Amino acid sequence: GSEALECAIKTARRYQFVNGHPERFRVITFEGAFHGRTLATIAAGGQYKYLEGFGPKVEGFDQVGFDDIDAAEKAITPETAAILIEPVQGEGGIRPVPTQSLKRLRQLCEQHGLLLIFDEVQCGIGRTGKLFAHEWSGVTPDIMAIAKGIGGGFPMGACLATDEAAVGMTAGVHGTTFGGNPLAMAVGNAVLDVVLEDGFLEDVQRKALLMKQGLASVADEFPEIIEDIRGAGLMLGLKCAMPNTKVNMALRDQNLLAVPAGDNVIRLLPPLTVTDAEIHEALNRIRAGAKGLAEAIASAAAK
């Protein structure tokens, strides 16, 4: 994923360079973003916990508030090359970017000669119920980074771009030792064979609704534990009413693995091949974990 984002950033800068604007190298990003762990991508993400201790922050990234499109517009300067955003923030707390905001970003890019980059490393390849998350909005990027899902567990990433956006990426300008290796390409093809089967993505949407409704029921039952359910498709988040680390440990006690995210959220990312029975089992374990926490709160209050 980090390599895919590095390539995306380089592609945007190179586009401006070959079109006579070498001064355009800066990229606008958004608070809460996570774009990887290389020196450039931690600078793009802008989170101090990932930047700390690694020396001067890589120059060229201007960050604005999440979904603050007015601030993004004001941040555009003669040095701006591109805007980079996750259509659904993962690390930031399972926060979908509203369709209208993505449309405005597309308009701003066209208005100012910028490239729109989507980071779909976590939300792409069927995770939201469409092949790519941006399809829900109808907004198409110039450049897109994908990874994680395209490999189905095998390390693989890719940077996709329009012919125009990739005009500067000629042979020899960019490369990677293991790029295009036969094993990774075979794995990616096998993943796409499954994801693009008739009805597969529609079934992801159906299962997502089943899971979201079940999670909403748990949240209604234990509002002192879970405030809200958020996300898209099988990229779901529990907005916690108490520290998410405690909720995460309660789920682990039920032998269910989840991962904390920003904004006091717990991330739930089941495999796209999850069965209805497995979803019901997960919901039972989440309910049991929430019940245990609620009882502990009640017991402490009684004392």
Closest among 169, 160, 168 to 134, alpha carbons compared: 160
Q: Are 103 and 137 in contact (CB under 8 A)?
A: yes
Q: What is the pLDDT of residue 52?
A: 95
Instruction: Tell me how far apart the alpha carbons of residues 143 and 155 are, in angstroms, rounded to a whole number.
Output: 20
Q: What is the pLDDT of residue 153?
A: 93
State mean pLDDT over 146-162. Answer: 97
Instruction: Please state, in angstroms and as integers, the Cα–Cα distance from residue 259 to each residue in 129, 157, 175, 249, following that order.
Output: 21, 22, 33, 10
What number of other Cβ atoms are within 10 A of residue 215's Cβ?
A: 24
Q: What is the pLDDT of residue 230?
A: 97
Residue 281 has pLDDT above 90, yes or no: yes
Q: What is the pLDDT of residue 180?
A: 93
Q: What is the CA radius of gyration of the chain?
A: 20
160 with 184, same domain: the answer is yes
Provide, rounded to the nearest whole percent, the portion of the chain with pLDDT above 90.
Answer: 98
Say which DSSP state 145 is in: E
Residue 222 has pLDDT above 90, yes or no: yes
10 with 120, same domain: the answer is yes
35 with 73, same domain: the answer is yes
170 with 97, same domain: the answer is yes
Q: What is the pTM of this model?
A: 0.95
**Locus of tokens 């995210």:** 261
Instruction: Please state, in angstroms and as integers, the Cα–Cα distance from residue 66 to each residue in 31, 45, 185, 204, 263, following that order.
Output: 5, 12, 35, 27, 12
Q: What's the N-to-C CA distance of the chain in angstroms?
A: 49
**Torsion of Cα atoms, 271 then 275 then 279 then 281, to 10°:** -120
Buried b or exposed e, range 159-185, using 16+ CB within 10 angstroms: bbbeeebbebbeeeeeeeeeeeeeebe
Residue 303 has pLDDT above 90, yes or no: no
25 with 85, same domain: the answer is yes
266 with 281, same domain: the answer is yes
Q: What is the pLDDT of residue 302?
A: 86
Q: Which domain holds residue 122?
A: 2-195
Mean pLDDT score of the chain: 97
Q: What is the pLDDT of residue 18?
A: 98
Instruction: Tell me how far apart the alpha carbons of residues 233 and 249 are, in angstroms, rounded to a whole number.
Output: 24
Provide, rounded to the nearest whole percent, the portion of the chain with pLDDT above 70.
Answer: 100
168 with 223, same domain: the answer is no
Beta bridge mates, 151? none
181 with 235, same domain: the answer is no
Instruction: Tell me how far apart the alpha carbons of residues 294 and 218 are, in angstroms, rounded to a whole number.
Output: 12
> How many distinct structural domains can be found in the chain?
2
249 with 105, same domain: the answer is no
- Pick the last residue of a domain from 195, 227, 245: 195
Half-sphere exposure for 72 (CA within 13 Å, toward CB): 26
230 with 176, same domain: the answer is no
Q: Residue 225 maps to which CATH number?
A: 3.90.1150.10
